[in-house]
Structure 1
Amino acid sequence: MIDFARVQKELVECSKDSEGSGIKVSQKSDDLVQLMGIIPGPVDTPYAGGTFQIDITLPEGYPFEPPKMQFKTKVWHPNISSQSGAICLDILKDQWSPALTLKTALLSVQALLSAPQPDDPQDAVVAKQYLEHYQTFVSTARYWTESFAKASTRGIEDKVQKLVEMGFPEAQVRNILEAVGGDENLALEKLL
């Protein structure tokens, strides 16, 4: 049975430090089973400047079983599937401990972006490129970050303005747009 009191406490802890760490976790549904994690791309990596969304599903046995995490934002990385967003990381599998939290799991995923493990790949094509053509890997990873993980600020501001003009509170509009990756139609559905 999921310990919902602990999940609530973890969400509060994440929100306290989100400005400093850039790591956020928010609810996608009322039941606290479907969550959305956000991590910034680490500095001095091809992912720098990007904001990456990660779908989080809590299993029935959480915190004794690891959360299921999958990148929603497309990313070019040996340990993350370029097709499905599946993540190959030991703490999300057999090295999970109930002492870990959603935030520490997201920090570990962020650290994985800084230190790929091409010898234990999730995406063999990316791992091969990383090992055999490193500069091409870096260029591709940067391109994917630019294309998929960097939202145009101007575009977001236009969407916020449009939804505020419809009568929705600006803070709520910004939170929902962030949670849905800037998808204006999905944001409107959630606001209604």
Structure 2
Amino acid sequence: MFSKHDSKGKERLRQIPATTAHSLFPSTSFVSPPYDEFSLLVPRPQLILRVIRLSQQAPHRNRCNEDVLLYPTASCYPLTIGFRLMSDYEVSLVNDSMQEFYVRFHGPAETPFAGGVWKIHVELPDQYPFKSPSIGFMNKIFHPNIDELSGSVCLDVINQTWSPMFDMINIFEVFLPQLLRYPNPNDPLNGEAAALLMRHPKEYDQKVKEYVQRFATKEAADAAADGEDEDDADEEMSDVGSMSEGE
């Protein structure tokens, strides 16, 4: 990582043409004077650094690496241009693979999913970003467009209308929150949730909250990512709570 006094590194950053940067990362905001771009590289709590690397070979595979979100304290490859800061996300690589990882996702505020924590499994295909990533909920969620058993997501922007202009930030800051806020009961993966939403919306909200309390805790999310059965994990947590009360 370049230090603030790395004049050569600073010069290399500034030599990247703005048109090139915009074409590669059209949605990324680059730092402009009087701000010092290196001041934003200082690690901060709850911030995740989006590492951007350039390569003249296999640019679409390089994009896979660019989109993986890393903690600023993790060992990073040298930065060249552009970066983006995100808050409240944790990313865990699977077998150190940059193409398979888990993202901790929080339910959007002012919805029945508020307060819930889910581990989202992400796989980036070799053709990414020209081909959409595969995503799925590891711990259970009650939603018309999410399969309760497999965690598969029915979302047109991922399954049908994906564009190489989209990235992980779009998925976790826009697409998934919007899906939870505005479910589509007319195209369900969970028929029970869809029927309940259309016929008894208040009961739907209540059942969503029950699932959040039981299956969408931090402990349940971690257990699901580790391959444990959620019902067993829930029972174990209940036993621990009972023991604590007995003491």
TM-score (norm 2): 0.57
Please tell me whether residue 131 in structure 1 is matched to residue 176 in structure 2.
no
**Percent same amino acid among aligned pairs?**
28
Cα distance change of structure 1 residues 36 and 180 upon mapping to structure 2, 3 Å threshold? same
Aligned length: 158
Which residue number in structure 1 is paired with residue 217 of structure 2?
Answer: 150
**Alignment equivalent of 2:176, drawn from 98, 101, 109:** 109
Cα distance change of structure 1 residues 181 and 43 upon mapping to structure 2, 3 Å threshold? farther
Residue identity in the other structure for 1:123:
N
Which residue number in structure 2 is paired with residue 29 of structure 1?
Answer: 95
Deviation at 1:181, TM superposition (A): 6.4
Which residue number in structure 1 is paired with residue 65 of structure 2?
Answer: 8
Cα distance change of structure 1 residues 75 and 115 upon mapping to structure 2, 3 Å threshold? same
2: CA distance, partners of 1:136 / 1:179:
26
Cα distance change of structure 1 residues 14 and 63 upon mapping to structure 2, 3 Å threshold? farther
Deviation at 1:69, TM superposition (A): 0.6
Which residue number in structure 2 is paired with residue 188 of structure 1?
Answer: none
- The structure showing larger relative contact order (alpha-carbon pairs under 8 Å, at least 6 residues apart) is 1
2: CA distance, partners of 1:103 / 1:181:
24
Contact 2:138 2:224 in 1 (8 A): no
Contact 1:14 1:23 in 2 (8 A): no
Give 3-state SS (helix, strand or coil) of 2:92's partner: strand
2: CA distance, partners of 1:104 / 1:81:
21
Deviation at 1:34, TM superposition (A): 1.4
Deviation at 1:140, TM superposition (A): 0.6
Cα distance change of structure 1 residues 18 and 26 upon mapping to structure 2, 3 Å threshold? farther
Contact 1:2 1:59 in 2 (8 A): no
Cα distance change of structure 1 residues 178 and 83 upon mapping to structure 2, 3 Å threshold? closer
Residue identity in the other structure for 1:105:
I
Deviation at 1:182, TM superposition (A): 11
Which residue number in structure 2 is paired with residue 91 of structure 1?
Answer: 157
Residue identity in the other structure for 1:83:
L
Contact 1:76 1:82 in 2 (8 A): yes
Deviation at 1:129, TM superposition (A): 0.6
Q: CA RMSD in A?
A: 2.7
Instruction: Give unpaired runs (5+ residues) of structure 1.
Output: 156-176, 184-192
Instruction: Give unpaired runs (5+ residues) of structure 2.
Output: 1-57, 73-83, 229-247
Q: Which structure has the bigger radius of gyration?
A: 2
Contact 1:4 1:32 in 2 (8 A): no
Structure with greater helix percent: 1
Cα distance change of structure 1 residues 178 and 3 upon mapping to structure 2, 3 Å threshold? farther
Cα distance change of structure 1 residues 89 and 14 upon mapping to structure 2, 3 Å threshold? farther
Cα distance change of structure 1 residues 117 and 2 upon mapping to structure 2, 3 Å threshold? farther
Moved over 6 A (4+): none
